């Protein structure tokens, strides 16, 4: 009961109540003071706090949201973090501006590092690599996939036995028509399975039904990926293999959805066997076969790429929007978000 003793019928609290916070366990001193600071500054009572209170002169700050908060985080590649870029596949140091990148380390803790492509003999191709671009967007560094520069994301069980997946990337195309794959997860193992971003397009396929791939386009005509748009954008693809649906978003706005046969059996085993001919999760390139690749056009840039995947269930609206809010504010793209986006005016 609020405003009276339990069971009371005549004895009521004679006053106003603005906010009540109840916690299950006893708070330690630090947590208690933080709660006091929050309430005092919210309700204009900070002047009443004792002089030695840690929040006497400033309100407690809310911890910034980070992709590390995602429980299903599989891979997090962040070109703005200089501690993740190296000029060699092993060891090495930070590349200079326009210097070649031999390794782009995963921040998720799952060790899905991006490094050199391998050919059909499992030999790394280190003669052509992407390059580092300093202050490419919003003062943050990005990676330029030059005419012969590719990263190969070493495969593993990143999307194996998953019912749904969400991949987000901040990127800039150069506007040249042609084959342009930003992120491609594609397996050739009797039946192909796909989840890949093309030039303003998203493509998906379930691996245990044999369906042909379906594609959603994010261009104005909605029927092709050809565009001269050279601005930075936030792209998000959500695939639900269990239900056979996918949806493509650009800057928080849906560009369309598509369906394919959901089928039965394996509910999302989207990694093939780990060998050179049949495993491909690649960045900035797609495969034509085990040793042939189609590159993205010169000067296509990627700032950040995040992949989450869960073994059961589907991703919610809130899951997608909080990630969009984080990336949009970080990369200076918040003005592109729809007016009704929950993080249009402030980051998560």
The DSSP call for residue 12 is: B
Q: 65, 326 in Cβ contact below 8 A?
A: yes
Cα distance between residue 260 and residue 247, in whole Å:
12
Q: 38, 59 in Cβ contact below 8 A?
A: yes
Per-residue pLDDT of 112-136, as tens digits, reads 888 877 666 667 777 778 899 999 9
Q: Which residues of the chain have pLDDT under 50?
A: 189-192, 263-278, 288-290
**Can you name the CATH fold of 67-336?**
Jelly Rolls (2.60.120)
Which residue, chain included where needed, has tokens 């405003």? 3
Per-residue pLDDT of 273-286, as tens digits, reads 444 444 567 787 76
Cα distance between residue 54 and residue 40, in whole Å:
12
pLDDT score for 44: 94
The DSSP call for residue 4 is: B
Backbone angles phi, psi at 114, to 5 degrees: -95, 130
Q: Where are the domains of the chain?
A: 18-61, 67-336
Which is nearest to 305 in space by CA: 130, 64, 63, 67? Answer: 67
Distance from CA of residue 11 to its chain's centroid? 55
Cα distance between residue 295 and residue 272, in whole Å:
22
pTM comes to 0.79
pLDDT score for 127: 73
Cα distance between residue 5 and residue 57, in whole Å:
36
**In the chain, how many H helices and how many E strands?**
2, 21
Q: 142, 303 in Cβ contact below 8 A?
A: yes
Q: 186, 285 in Cβ contact below 8 A?
A: no
């Amino acid at each position: 009961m609020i405003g009276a003793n339990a069971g009371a019928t005549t004895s009521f609290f004679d006053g106003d109540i603005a906010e009540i916070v109840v916690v299950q366990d006893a708070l330690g001193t630090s947590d208690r003071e933080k709660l006091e600071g929050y309430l005092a500054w919210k309700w204009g009572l900070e002047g009443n706090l004792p002089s030695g209170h840690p929040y006497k002169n400033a309100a407690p700050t809310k911890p910034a949201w980070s992709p590390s908060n995602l429980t299903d985080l599989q891979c997090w590649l962040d070109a703005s973090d200089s501690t993740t870029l190296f000029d060699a596949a092993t060891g090495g140091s930070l590349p200079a501006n326009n210097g070649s990148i031999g390794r782009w380390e995963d921040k998720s803790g799952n060790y899905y590092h991006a490094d050199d492509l391998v050919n059909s003999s499992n030999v790394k191709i280190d003669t052509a690599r992407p390059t580092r671009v300093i202050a490419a967007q919003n003062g943050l560094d990005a990676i330029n996939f030059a005419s012969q520069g590719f990263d190969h994301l070493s495969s593993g069980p990143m999307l194996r036995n998953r019912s749904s997946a969400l991949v987000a990337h901040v990127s800039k195309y150069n506007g040249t028509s042609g084959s342009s794959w930003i992120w491609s997860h594609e397996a050739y193992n009797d039946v192909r399975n796909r989840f890949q971003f093309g030039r303003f397009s998203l493509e998906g396929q379930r691996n245990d039904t044999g369906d042909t791939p379906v594609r959603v386009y994010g261009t104005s005509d909605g029927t092709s990926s050809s565009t001269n748009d050279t601005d930075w954008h936030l792209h998000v693809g959500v695939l639900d293999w269990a239900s056979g649906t996918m949806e493509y978003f650009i800057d928080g706005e849906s560009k369309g959805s598509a369906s394919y046969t959901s089928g039965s059996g394996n509910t999302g085993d989207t990694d093939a066997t780990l060998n050179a001919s049949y495993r491909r999760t690649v960045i900035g390139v797609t495969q034509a076969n085990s040793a042939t690749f189609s590159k993205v056009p010169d000067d296509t840039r990627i700032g950040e790429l995040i992949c989450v995947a869960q073994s059961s269930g589907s991703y919610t609206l809130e899951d997608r929007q909080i990630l969009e809010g984080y990336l949009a504010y970080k990369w200076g793209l918040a003005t592109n978000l729809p007016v009704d986006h929950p993080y249009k005016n402030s980051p998560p």
